[in-house]
Amino acid sequence: MRIFRHFDDVPAALKGAVVAIGNFDGVHRGHRALIAEAKVQAEARRSPLAVLSFEPHPQEYFHPEAESFRLTPLRAKARLLAELGVDALLALPFDADMARRTPQEFVGQILMDALRISGAVVGHDFEFGNRRAGNLAVLSYMGEMEGFSVTAFDTVTSAGDGKISSSLIRQLLQQARPDEAARLLGHTWAVEARVEHGDARGRTMGFPTANMHLGHCLAPAFGVYAVRVNILDNDKVVARHDGVANFGIRPMYRTSVPLMETHLFDFNGDLYGKYLSVELVRYIRPEAKFAGLEALIAQIALDAAKAREILAAIA
């Protein structure tokens, strides 16, 4: 899959694509179904399949002071989309220029002049253009005028949950329910970041950890998790290990910023500077403060054993 950060960079071979348009944060089951519909149309027309999204997320542009909420930063989103067979990801910059484009300018300058799309697939609640002046009806009318098809995709629901949405998945992760979030996502949610140098306290306790700061990513519930860790190199998984992780502020050795500390089982090597994807499989317990170092080490051993048990049961 090729990634483009500007719409005027797209080569002729990728013109005429069927384009799925949306934010696709999390690339959840609803997003996957919409992209699958776009793929069916692209294959029928022998056209490329593209996804058009924005970076940063429009909400991050309009509310820069708000807490981080992203489920999938660009790097993770791109990898998930590539797995779905997408030919091109158009991660267009959402800035002042993009924000003030009218619906007519968005369609005329981007979808037609730059991309010459053959079709667009969007959700029923799709809105676009300055002050969200454009909607499905506007896009459909302009599609008729310009000669591209517009497909409104039905909302995907899950039994007992109603509409599958990124907002609901965020709530589940913040409520320490990563397994339920994974059911709606269609994949296990992961924290992705580069390993940083820490205080090496875990190593002295017999449980060395890979330390990561989340950056512009949703903060899940504080606590201990059974995890699966992917070690990435150029966005390809080169090794995979089970493990146990703590996310939070470490009540005994408090940190000013929440930290993900992951202990990889059966691993002996240097992870500093490596890029990891830590999948939160199951929540084990909340963070806690212990009476002393011995009690903390004993609890970590119990957590590790519990994580091994959980992961072995769902291997």
Three-state DSSP class for 18?
strand
* Location of each CATH 3.40.50.620 domain in the chain: 2-158
Is 309 part of the annotated catalytic residue set?
no
For residue 176, what pLDDT is reported? 98
Positions in the chain whose pLDDT score sits under 70: 157-161, 198-205, 252, 315
For residue 3, what pLDDT is reported? 97
Residue (of 27, 18, 25, 10) closest to 56 by Cα position: 25
Spell out the SS3 assignment of 195-262: CECCCCHHHHCCCCCEEECCCCCCCCCCEEEEEEEEEEECCEEEEEEEEEEEEECCCCCCCCCCEEEE
Look at the pTM and tell me if it is higher than 0.85.
yes
Side by side, the strands of the sheet bearing 259-264 are 190-194, 275-285, 223-233, 236-248, 259-264, 210-212
Superfamily of domain covering 188-313: Riboflavin kinase-like (2.40.30.30)
pLDDT tens, position by position, 227-247: 999 999 988 999 999 999 999
Rounded to whole angstroms, how far apart are CA atoms 91 and 3? 7
For residue 162, what pLDDT is reported? 73
Three-state DSSP class for 311?
helix
How many helices (H) and strands (E) the chain has is answered by 10, 16
Check 55, 180, 192, 261 and give the catalytic one: 261
pLDDT tens, position by position, 292-302: 889 889 999 99
* Location of each CATH 2.40.30.30 domain in the chain: 188-313
Superfamily of domain covering 2-158: HUPs (3.40.50.620)
For residue 204, what pLDDT is reported? 64
Rounded to whole angstroms, how far apart are CA atoms 229 and 77? 17
For residue 203, what pLDDT is reported? 64
